[in-house]
Structure formats: structure tokens, C-alpha cells
Chain A
Amino acid sequence: MSKARMQLMLCSGTGCHATGSKRFHEALDAELNRQGLTDEIKIVETGCNGFCAVGPVMLVQPEGIFYQKLTAEDVPELVEEHFLKGRPVPRLFFKEHMSKEKIPHIDDIPFFSNQVYRAMRNKGAIDPEVIDEYIARDGYFGAAKALNEMSSEEIIDEMLTSGLRGRGGAGFPTGLKWKFAHSSKGAEKYVLCNADEGDPGAFMDRSILESDPHVILEGMTIAAKAINATKGYIYCRTEYQLAIRRLEIAIAQAKEYGLLGTNILGSGFDFDIEIYQGAGAFVCGEETALMRSIEGKRGMPRPRPPFPAYKGLWDKPTILNNVESFANVPQIILKGGEWYASIGTEKSKGTKVFALSGDINNIGLVEVPMGLPIRTLIYDIGGGIPNKRKFKAVQLGGPSGGCVPEQHLDTLIDYEEIAKVGAIMGSGGAIVMDDRTCMVDMARFFMDFIQDESCGKCTPCREGTRRILEILERICDGKGEAADLKSLEDLCEVTSNSSLCGLGQTAANPVLSTMRFFMDEYKAHIFEKRCPAKTCQALLKFTVDAEKCKKCGLCFKACPADAIVWKKKEVAFIDTTKCIQCMSCYDKCPFDAID
């Protein structure tokens, strides 16, 4: 590749972009130019590195020094000290949350060292806009093998051996899905990639597309060969403009290299891929809805059977896998299904990507082996909860998933194990919540989301979720009644049992899950008219703890409603009849005296 002595892998993912990677890049460029170092030091703009919390980040290769929170002002020092004199700059190293230790090497940072890269093996390592860099890391070798040396059956067998299950959430064995579509008769078949990442709190697909677009093209090509399809679509959220641009570049380059289009790699196999931009509808993550959408219609799911493997897009046999699933395919073909299955649990093989967010120190994207305890994910990789707050639960699986509370943190990352505690693997969103999060409000949040995203076709989902939301809102408003709990249960059961598609069938999960583990919070809202997490404003009754109050008067000054009575050297008093529960005083009090 490059003859440069040093490569600066600068993250240009959405996160780092937002925190100023572009300005830093420009400054760095200018400085290297000024110093005449452009030949020996090469800047490589990579896709998302994953460690978004500390962006902009940069990895200096081949040394493996990791810099975080970079600004344009840091450039002269970096160039002078490190790039010229070989003395890395410690103040820009990663700082461990607990020990406050500064760690220079990426391999020593727990966020990275506990990860195993498969789907994201190229993240931060290549320039996503240069196909040669992908090829240099064994890119398209899997496709070459599949197209020239393997039959469809052999590819499917390899996939079955790998034990790869759908990473979009349901965990259906990928090889089996391909097998059905393979056996389905039809001259025209389709391979679809679901890149309509919709679960709030999940962004691994965007990251993979931005950092390694070719792996998706390669994975889809292998799938096409397996089921004998000639056309593929990547259904991508229109919000992901960077990902779309990189995919467009990748498709053009692959075609130029004969890796896509007609007679790929001289194998006689034809396959073409088109990008289809979604237009903003969560329900289009459901496979039949997604197909409707590609057909240019309203993304309303249709009943199954018939299943897409037999009657999918334009009524032709179709397979749909998500981005992360496809990202695993080339390596499985290249290194074999057994290699892939060598890590993980009995029924969940390989790795899974999680998007850690919420109340956690190391917000970012991580890939971990199946079978890892959730606790390790949260505390070792995630670096624990900030501000010395208490962990309450981690929400897995987004609007279709559930919460894993403290007592189940040792659950292993495994489709079945996670399901046992009432959550789902889902697409990998992992939102950590500390003790200030109200679980009833959380359920209400998800129901609000679902209600908004329901397509409106079937009665239980359209009307049922509306009624569930209504009840949850009532509870959060302090107007809940005992009978509401029974109504919730009934509604959740019918919505789950009778809705047309997965969206409705799983819509009640966040409610059922929080009712299972946090019934006490529901009861507190209903019977004591109290929100233990102090989130539901209507239920807040603020009082001043006389023992903690230092009589400073900050609360008095902060109150916009004149609800606080305070005189110098006296404990403040809150007039609850005037209080508008705005929490200004609560936020202001330096002594936690307001509760």
C-alpha cells in the first residue's frame, strides 16, 4: 500500500465528525504540509472507530498509539513531539475512569482489549473509499472462493456450520434462510440488505457501512450465489448520507474491478446491487414492509405465509439479512464455518456488536464474543456508570426488547439466555440506565415510539398500543388506578398474540419487561402517587431536607414560580401548591438537600 512510515487513522464517523474531526483534519493537513511531511506521514480517513464518547479519535500506526478528544490546537504539539521527535503526547491518551491511569496503546485500553473483531474487523483500519485497502485485508477473497470454487449447496452448508444467526434481532439461522430461498423455484430472486437501522440506540449498521462498505457488497454477492439471485438492494435510511455515499463509491469501484456486475471474477455469475433510500418509517425494518417499500408503496406489512423466501419482493423469492449479518459472511466463507463457530455458546456462535449508550462511561460501538457476561460488557468494556450513580438496568433490543436489571447482570450474551430474562438480543442496542431513570416512563417512552411508528393496519397494534400508551401516560401523570394494571396485562397479551407483524407482536415487551422487574415502581406511581426515580414531573413533591440544607438560598433564586420561601440563615421551604415541578431547585442544590 503506502510507503509512508506512519499512518494516522483518523476517525471520520458521524460521532467524531460532530465533535470536530474535520477541523482537526484540516489543521493536521496544513501542518504536515508546512513541515513537508506529507510523503512520510499519511492521513487515512477511516469509518467509525466505535469509541464515539471520546472523539475525535486517531490511531497512530504502526505504533498503535491512541489519541482521544483531539482539537485543532493540539496539532502543532502532536506533529512536533510525536511525529517528528517520536515522543507521544500523554495528555491526549485515554484516561481510565476508575484508576485515572493514562493508557497510550490501543491494545491496553479495556474498551478495545475486551473486544473481538469480526463484523467490524476493518473499522478504523482502512480507508473505506479505497477498494485496494479492503482487498489488501483479504477483501473479496471470500467471494472469489464462493463464486469459483463452491456450489450453492456448499456455501449454504458452510453458513449452517458457522451457526450464524440473524443479527437484526430475531436470530433466525442465516444458512437456513438461504436454504429455503435456494430451494424456492424462480428465475428471478433477490438479496436484500436491511440497512434501515431503526431501533433507537443502535448504530452499528451505520458504522459498518461507513467504515467497511465493501464487506456488505461481498457478503451479498456470496448470498446471491447461494440462492442464485441476480439482483440485490441495500435498503438504507436516507438519514445515513455518509453511508450511502460510501456505498455508492464502493459499488462503482467493485464494478470497475469486475467484482460486481456481469461475469464476476470470470465465474460467469452476474449480480448487481442497487441502493434504495428509505423514507423514514420504523416499520420498514419488518421484512414484508421493507419489500413493500422497495416496491414504492406504503410500508405496511402483509401476513405471512407466504414467506419471502417463496414470495418476497415483487412476489419473487427473496432473502433479507441485515448489515451485521452480511458483514460476517465473507470471513465465514474464507475461513470456514468451523472457525466462526469456534467462539460463542452452544447455540449462539461468533460475535455480536453492541451499541453502548445512555448512562455509561464508554459510550460507543463494541464487538464482543457470544457468551460474555453482560456485566463484563457494562463494567469492563463500558467502564461503568458515570458520576458514581447506581446501575439500574440495561435495555436490550430497543422497542421490541426488555430491561435486564442488576440481579440478572451475569446473564451471558446468548440469544436464548437473554430471552430467558425477558429481553432480546435485538439489533444490539444496549442503553444503560442509572437510578434516575423511571421504568414506567421508559415503558411509556417506548410505547409512544411504537404508537408513532405503527403502520395503522391491524386493530391490535393501532388501537391496542394507543390504549396501552394512554394507561401509561395516566400512571405517569399520577392518575393511575389499580384496575390499570389488569388492563395493561390484557392489552399486552392481545397485542402480542394477535398483531399482524413483529412490530405489534413485540410492542408490549418493554411494558411486560418493566412490569416483571419493576412492579414496585408501577405500584409506587399508582398507589403512592410517587415516582421513585423522580422523572415523572406530575408526581414530584419537593421538600427540603432540613438536615442537609445549608441555607444558601440558591434554590430560592432558581425557582421560577415563587414557590420557595427562604430567608437568610433559614432552611428553605417549598410551597407545593405553587410548585410547578420544574426541578430547577433540585438541579441547583449543591447539597442534595431537595428531594
Chain B
Amino acid sequence: MWHTYLISAFKTNPLATRGVCILPTAVVSFLPWQTSLNQKTDKVRLEMEHKDKSMIIDGRALRFTEGETILEVARRNHIDIPTLCHLKGATPTGACRVCVVEVEGARTLMTSCTVPATAGMVVHSESPEVIRSRRMTIELMLTSGRHDDCLVCPSSGDCRLQDLAFRYKVKGATFTPSGVKYPMEAANPFILRDFSKCILCGRCVQACNEVQVNEAIDFGYRGAEAKIVTKGDRALKDSDCVFCGECVQACPVAALVPKNARLVPRMSETRAVKTTCSYCGVGCQMNLHVKNNRVWHVTGCEEVAPNHGSLCVKGRYGFDFIASEHRLTTPLIKENGAFREASWDEALDLTARRFKEIAGAHADAVGVLTSARVTNEENYIAQKFARTVLKTNNIDHCARL
């Protein structure tokens, strides 16, 4: 059998057991991990040999459906395999290597986000080997760029790398931090790009290219020089970026944060209020992040239709009108061509009186323009007002504009 002899070749090679010595192309490719089924004899495994579509993760026999990845099977069964680059709705890239697991018989650790479950597969999600690899991977991330300032970092409390460092007790002290390679970019109204925090997980690239399909950013350069770039590696404001902020929502660290993130309450300090966007007709579901009676951030709700987390620039960043100093706060009455402030009673009494006079004198001489901007309840009340109080069907709104 071809595979057994190949495996025996690895086993006899002292370096091969460390997962080295074979070139990219082929051997790895076709190694069926199932071949190792007989290596150990534990009871569960023997039972499983005759069952189709089941596998073992951390000693638990689990069923799966065709095409499910190890990660999906694990998550469905509340086995917490950590991930970082994995982005829902996008093709798994296997880039960050945080979700690696040990698959018996496989030559190297495998990324659980990309490998489909197969019958008889035996997986260890937290073996010493796995933990060792994760710790080194996290260590390498923590010492790339600058990750030593959580105390003043806007993403603190809302940072996947911080969570991972905590979970695996990694401090980022083994190597000298590689420091700032590319300068921070803040030359646009919405998004701050801090490359010293970027761990090149690629979630932003996928959010931009696979979720929103705006294709404004991509990987640029190569190797240690790799950087997330726009066209011509220009600033976002001079690129094809449409500032939908999908990348900001996807960024697991603080490489992409709202422009003013350092000046306003951190996401983790705010309270989220779920609501519907008030711009176009898509009706995106969004969270308004509130603290001290003020909206500081807006994020898309990931679990529900119709937008599943996506927003556009207006929905995500066009909320400063709420707290605008130009808001009308008191009724105004025009006298001699100029407005003066008035009390609610005065303004409403005046209005009621004039409407009554005009409507009383001429049928259908009063009209109401209700609004495609206000709620159903308010539209209902407006038309009810026109029809029952003003006794007219002269009600319309700008449906046609």
C-alpha cells in the first residue's frame, strides 16, 4: 500500500517526525489520515470503525455531515477551538494557524477551519503539541509590530489577540518587538489604519473582497514586507475605498479602528441598542453603541437578515447628526419674515387654529406631506390625522423621489 510505505518513510526519518523533509508538492497532499486508525486501540475508536460519518474530537465520538470542517463539528458540539483569521461568510484561508489541531496520522498540524471532517478521523484540539504551536504563533504575533500597550488601546476588551494571549498565557516577551514598519494612516474621516497592530490575518481583505466586494484592499508586497494595501498603496481616501467599515468590524485587533477611537469610549464600555438604519430602504439591522446618552459607534448585527453584519458608510459613520448642535430644539414661529422661539403650547395652538380655520372654510384646502423617513406608527397617525381630523385625502409623501 502506497500510503503505508510513505508513512513508514516518515517514521524512520528522525526529522520527518518533526514534520520536515518533504517538499511542498505531493506527499502531504494525499496522505489519508485514516490510515492511522489502528495505531492505538481505544475502545471508542474500535466502535467507530464501523460507523459512517463520525469522528473523534478530544475523545468524543461526533457525527458530522459531508463537507463540514473540523471546526464546524467542534463548534456545534461546544468544543472551543480558538480562531483568529476565520471570517464567517468568507472562504477559510488557513492563514493565522491559531486553529491548528492534531489529526492522527497527519504529518503536520492541520487547520481545523479548512480541513473537512472525514470518517474515522481522530482529532486532538488541545494536545501539548497543539498548545505549543498556538503559544508560539501567538508569541510571534504579539512581537510583530507593537502590541504592548493594551492599557491605552482602543480595542482593549474587544480584541481577539488579547483574548488569545490571556487564554494561552502568552506575554510576548520572548522576542524583541519588531516595531513600527509602516506609519499610521489617519488621512480620512472615518478609519484609522495602525499597521503596527496589524497581524496580517487577512480578515479585512476578505471582508472587503468577499463580503462587501468593494475590492479596495488586498495583500501587497511579500514575506516580511507584506502589508494590506489599496491601489498604489495610497491612503484610503485616495483609493477605491467606500468606507463601508466592514473591515473595521472584521479587524480582530486595533489595526483598523474608527478614526476617533482613541478619543471616545471604547467599544467594550458601551451598551448596544439594536435598531434599524434610517437611511435607504435596505433596512440594515445595526447596533448603536451608547454611553452617557450618546451614540459613539455603530456596528452591523451579524446574526440577522437582511444585512448579516454589513453596513454602508452612511449607516456606520453617518450618525453624528443625532447629536448635532444644529438640531431643532424648540418650536419656531415666523413673524415679519423672521423666526422667533415659541413654546409648544403656543406653536401647536397656532397651528391647530389655522388648520381649523382653513379646513373649515374650504374643503381639501389643507394638505399633509408625511414622510418616508418616519416610522410606520407615525405615518399611520399622520394619515389618520389627515383623514379624520382634516377630513381630506390630501396626504402624500415623496415615495416617488
Direct contact between the two chains A and B in their complex (CB within 8 A)? yes
Question: Which residues on A are within 8 Å of B, measured CB to CB?
Answer: 166, 168-173, 176-177, 180, 281, 285-287, 298, 300-305, 307-309, 320, 347, 397, 400, 402, 415-416, 419-420, 422, 424, 426, 451-460, 462-464, 466-467, 470, 487, 490-494, 496-503, 505-506, 508-509, 512-513, 516
Contact A170 B18 (CB under 8 A): no
Please tell me if the beta carbons of B97 and A499 are within 8 angstroms of each other in the complex: yes
Q: B116 to A305, Cβ gap below 8 A? A: yes
A458 touches which of B9, B14, B97, B219 (Cβ 8 Å): B97
Determine the distance from Cα of A459 to Cα of B142 in the docked complex, in whole angstroms. Answer: 11
10 tightest Cβ-Cβ pairs between the two chains A and B: A502-B24, A172-B26, A456-B226, A169-B23, A303-B94, A463-B140, A286-B24, A303-B114, A494-B136, A454-B223
Give a binary string over B288-323; 1 marks a CB under 8 Å from any A CB, 0 the rest: 000000000000000000000000000000000000
Q: Are A506's CB and B23's CB within 8 A?
A: yes
Within 8 Å CB of B18, what residues of A? 492-493, 496-497, 512
Q: Does B225 contact A (CB under 8 A)?
A: yes
Within 8 A of A (CB), among B93-120: 93-98, 100, 108-109, 111, 114-116
Known: A454-B223, A455-B222. A464 touches B23 (CB 8 A): no
A168 to B109, CA, bound (A): 24
B12 on the A face (CB < 8 A): yes
Decide yes or no whether B88 CB sits under 8 A from chain A: no
Give CA–CA (A528, B30) in the complex, Å: 47
A426 to B222, CA, bound (A): 24
How far does the alpha carbon of A285 sit from the alpha carbon of B140 in the complex, in Å?
A: 26
With contact pairs A281-B222, A303-B93, A505-B108 given, residues A424 and B23 touching in the complex (Cβ less than 8 Å): yes
Supply 11 further A-B pairs (C-beta < 8 A) apart from A302-B94, A463-B140: A170-B28, A172-B29, A304-B29, A419-B16, A451-B224, A454-B222, A466-B178, A496-B20, A499-B108, A512-B15, A516-B15
Do residues A463 and B144 form an inter-chain contact, with CB atoms below 8 A?
A: yes
Q: Given the complex of chains A and B, what is the CA–CA distance between A505 and B106 in angstroms?
A: 13
Query: Does the CB pair A498–B13 fall under 8 Å?
Result: no
Known: A286-B24, A452-B223, A502-B28. A494 touches B133 (CB 8 A): yes
On chain B, the residues within 8 Å of A492 by CB distance are 18
Query: Is B329 at the interface (CB under 8 A from chain A)?
Result: no
Which chain A positions have C-beta within 8 A of B41?
none
Chain B residues contacting A172 (CB-CB under 8 Å) are 25-27, 29-30
From 26 to 40 in chain B, residues with beta carbon under 8 angstroms from any chain A beta carbon are 26-30
CA distance A492 to B97 in the complex (A): 15
- Contacting residues, chain A, for B199 (C-beta < 8 A): 459
Q: Which listed residue, B95, B136, B178, touches A464 by the CB 8 Å rule?
A: B136
The verdict on B65 contacting chain A, using a C-beta distance below 8 Å, is no
A-B contacts, 23 of them at CB < 8 A, read A172-B30, A176-B30, A287-B29, A302-B93, A303-B111, A303-B115, A308-B29, A320-B25, A415-B9, A419-B21, A419-B22, A420-B13, A422-B13, A422-B15, A457-B93, A457-B226, A458-B96, A459-B137, A462-B226, A463-B143, A496-B19, A498-B109, A498-B137
- Asked if residues A498 and B219 are in contact (CB atoms below 8 Å), the reply is no
User: A281-B222, A320-B25, A456-B224 in contact; A500/B30 too (CB < 8 A)?
Assistant: no
Set of chain A residues within 8 Å of B111, measured between Cβ atoms: 303, 500
Residues in B lying within 8 Å of A, measured CB to CB = 2, 5, 9, 12-16, 18-30, 92-98, 100, 108-109, 111, 114-116, 129, 132-133, 136-137, 140-141, 143-144, 174-175, 178, 199-200, 202, 218-219, 221-226
Distance (whole angstroms) from the CB of A291 to the closest CB of chain B:
12
A497 to B9, CA, bound (A): 17
Contacts of A180 in B (CB 8 A): 30
With beta carbons under 8 angstroms apart, the residue of B13, B21, B23, B132 that contacts A168 is B23
Measured in the bound complex, the distance between the Cα atoms of B94 and A458 in whole Å is 8
Query: Within the assembled complex, what's the spacing in Å between the Cα atoms of A180 and B29?
Result: 11
Q: Chain B's nearest CB lies how many Å from the CB of A167? A: 11
Is B24 a contact of A285 with CB atoms below 8 Å?
A: yes
Q: Do A500 and B222 touch (CB < 8 A)?
A: no
Interface residue from A281, A422, A462 paired with B224 (Cβ < 8 Å): A462
A456 touches B221 (CB 8 A): yes
Contacts of B14 in A (CB 8 A): 422
The closest CB in chain B to the CB of A470 belongs to B175
Contacts of A451 in B (CB 8 A): 223-224
- Contact: A305 with B136, CB < 8 Å? no
Q: Are A505 and B96 in contact (CB under 8 A)?
A: no
* Chain B residue at minimal CB-CB distance from A483: B174
Q: Say yes or no: A505 contacts B2, CB within 8 Å.
A: no
Smallest beta-carbon distance A31→chain B, Å:
48
Most buried by B among A172, A347, A512: A172
- Pairwise interchain contact A287-B25, C-beta atoms closer than 8 A: yes
Q: A460 contacts B93, CB within 8 Å?
A: no
User: What B residues does A307 contact at CB under 8 A?
Assistant: 29-30
Contact between B136 and A491, CB atoms less than 8 A apart: yes
CB-contact partner of B22 in A300, A463, A487, A506, under 8 A: A506
Nearest A residue to B107 via CB reads A505
A416 CA to B143 CA, complexed, in Å:
38
Given A176-B2, A502-B28, decide whether A456 and B223 contact each other with a Cβ distance below 8 A: yes
Which B residue sits closest to A416, measured CB to CB? B9
Kindly list chain A residues whose C-beta atoms are within 8 Å of the C-beta of B133: 460, 494, 497-498
Assess the B222–A502 pair: CB atoms within 8 A: no
CA of A43 to CA of B172 in the docked complex: distance in angstroms?
67
Q: Are the CB atoms of A497 and B19 closer together than 8 Å?
A: yes
Chain A residues with Cβ under 8 A from B114's Cβ? 303, 305
- Are the C-beta atoms of A508 and B25 separated by less than 8 Å? no
- Within the assembled complex, what's the spacing in Å between the Cα atoms of A500 and B199? 16
Min CB distance, A34 to chain B, in Å?
53
B20: chain A residues at CB < 8 Å are 496, 505-506, 508-509, 512
Q: How far is the CA of A286 from the CA of B22 in the complex (A)?
A: 12
A298 touches B219 (CB 8 A): yes
- Which of A169, A305, A397 is the one whose CB lies under 8 Å from B115? A305
CB closest chain-A residue, reference B102: A497
Complex-state Cα separation, A513 to B175, whole angstroms:
24
Q: Please measure, in the bound complex, the distance between the C-alpha atom of A492 and the C-alpha atom of B175, giving whole angstroms.
A: 15
* Shortest distance from the beta carbon of A215 to any chain B beta carbon, whole Å: 21
Pair B97/A498 contact, Cβ less than 8 Å: yes
CA distance A449 to B30 in the complex (A): 28
CB distance from B19 to the nearest CB of A (A): 4
Asked if A494 meets B21 with Cβ closer than 8 Å, knowing A454-B223, A462-B223, A502-B28, the reply is no
Give A299's nearest chain B residue, CB to CB: B222
Most A CB within 10 A of own CB, among B133, B137, B221, B222: B222
Chain B positions within 8 Å of A497 at CB level = 18-19, 108-109, 129, 133
A304's partner among B23, B28, B98 (CB-CB below 8 A) is: B28
The minimal Cβ–Cβ distance linking A198 to chain B, given in whole angstroms, is 11
User: Does the CB pair A494–B137 fall under 8 Å?
Assistant: yes
One of A453, A462, A508 near B200 (C-beta < 8 A): A462
B97 and A460 contact, CB distance less than 8 A:
yes
- Measured CA separation A513–B178 after assembly (Å): 28
Residues of B within 8 A of A170 (CB): 22-28
Complex CA distance for A153 and B35, rounded to whole angstroms? 25
Instruction: Kindly state the separation between the CA atoms of A166 and B24 in the bound complex, as whole angstroms.
Output: 11
Q: Is the CB of B132 within 8 A of A494?
A: yes
Interface pair B140/A456, CB less than 8 Å apart: no
For A503, give the chain B residue with the smallest CB separation.
B24
**Which A residues are CB-close (under 8 A) to B200?**
456-457, 459, 462
Across-interface contacts of A424 in B (CB, < 8 A): 21-23
Q: Which residues of B contact A300 (CB under 8 A)?
A: 219
CB contacts (< 8 Å) of B226 on chain A: these are 455-457, 462
Q: Verify A455–B22 contact, CB threshold 8 A.
A: no
Q: Which of B15, B93, B96, B132 has the most CB of A within 10 A?
A: B15
Chain B residues with CB under 8 A of A303? 92-94, 111, 114-115
Of B26, B96, B219, which is within 8 A of A166 by CB? B26
Q: Please state if A509 and B93 are interface contacts (CB–CB under 8 Å).
A: no
Please tell me which one of the listed residues A426, A452, A458, A500 contacts residue B23 in the complex, with CB atoms under 8 A apart.
A426
**In the complex, are the beta carbons of A456 and B225 less than 8 A apart?**
yes
In the assembled complex, how far is the CB of residue A446 from the closest CB belonging to chain B, in whole angstroms? 13
For B219, the chain A residues whose CB sits under 8 A away are: 298, 300, 456-457
